[in-house]
């Protein structure tokens, strides 16, 4: 894998803007995303990282457990409005962003904007969600696309999902912190604690909790084969019959 210079340099941005690494929503994987809620809030397009977000690292096939969620995403946004920020998506059925510089380079951001502005119904930055498993590439890229402007008092007072999108004023950064295959675990451990530290230091917990409540569903339960599924009621029924 080539050295990601923009990704290595992005931590220095913490010196003057520590919030650049903060996601708006934290999920284990995309099964937790409420795509209907995102659509209702005005989000019309999505950018996905591939490795350990949709696929096993360095593979091109969707993780089987994500099939339903991935189908729902493409049906709600439309396949042309979902973009993979990687080099291949043969098995994923959506366009691939061909960029010379890796995330979170500004040239990569320019490529994203060029693609979504070229659609028949162009999609603006604040109508996008960026989903990925690394804070110094995916999350930083999403936050670099946000415009820092003062909000009107009227918008600030509103508490619905639309006002949350207006407060972001750019793509919604969604961090998937689960992994399908262990990779760079020391770095992931560091990222988790860094996000938590910056969140506490900038007093952002209550602000981020608003997004989490609206756009994230409960953590998906572990897969269990049908043959092993048994309810308490069913178990009690079996034991009752044996006693009789």
At 24 the pLDDT is 95
Structural domain boundaries in the chain = 5-240
Instruction: Retrieve residue 117's tokens.
Output: 């502005």
In 3D space, the residue among 73, 143, 148, 82 whose CA is nearest the CA of residue 109 turns out to be 143
At 130 the pLDDT is 97
**Could you give the CA distance from residue 192 to residue 179 in angstroms, rounded to a whole number?**
13
Burial of 184 per CB tally in 10 Å (0-12, 13-18, 19+): middle
At 13 the pLDDT is 66
Do the beta carbons of residue 130 and residue 30 sit within 8 Å?
no
Helix (H, G, I), strand (E, B) or coil at 184: coil
Q: In what order do the strands lie in the sheet with 45-48?
A: 25-27, 172-176, 128-132, 45-48, 82-84
Burial 142-164 (b: 16+ CB within 10 A, else e): bbbbbeeeeeeeeeeeeeebebb
At 184 the pLDDT is 81
Strand partners, 216: 33
At 223 the pLDDT is 53
Phi/psi at 231 (5° precision): -85, 160
At 238 the pLDDT is 45
**Could you give the CA distance from residue 6 to residue 187 in angstroms, rounded to a whole number?**
16
**Could you give the CA distance from residue 71 to residue 93 in angstroms, rounded to a whole number?**
10
- pLDDT averages per 10-residue partition of the chain, 244 residues: 57 74 95 96 95 88 94 94 74 71 85 94 96 93 80 51 80 94 88 92 87 88 46 47 47
């Amino acid at each position: 894998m080539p050295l990601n210079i923009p990704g290595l340099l992005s931590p220095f941005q913490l010196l003057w803007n520590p919030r650049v690494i903060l996601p708006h929503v934290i999920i284990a994987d995309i099964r937790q995303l409420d795509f209907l809620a995102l659509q209702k809030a005005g989000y019309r397009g999505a950018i996905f990282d591939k490795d350990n977000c949709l696929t096993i690292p360095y593979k091109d096939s969707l993780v089987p457990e994500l099939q339903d969620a991935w189908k729902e995403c493409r049906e709600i946004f439309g396949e042309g409005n979902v973009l993979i920020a990687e080099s291949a998506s043969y098995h994923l059925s959506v366009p691939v962003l061909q960029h010379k510089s890796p995330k979170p380079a500004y040239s990569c951001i320019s490529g994203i904007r060029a693609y979504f502005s070229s659609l028949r119904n162009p999609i603006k930055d604040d109508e996008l969600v960026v989903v990925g498993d690394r804070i110094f590439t995916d999350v930083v890229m999403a936050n670099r696309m946000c415009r820092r402007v003062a909000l009107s008092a009227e918008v600030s007072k509103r508490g619905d999902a639309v006002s949350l999108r207006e407060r972001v004023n750019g793509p919604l950064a969604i961090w998937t912190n689960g992994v399908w295959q262990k990779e760079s675990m020391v770095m992931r451990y560091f990222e988790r604690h860094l996000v938590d530290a910056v969140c506490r230091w900038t007093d952002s917990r209550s602000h981020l909790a608003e997004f989490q409540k609206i756009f994230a569903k409960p953590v998906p339960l572990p897969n269990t084969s049908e043959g092993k599924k048994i309810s308490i009621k069913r178990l009690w029924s079996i034991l009752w019959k044996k006693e009789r």
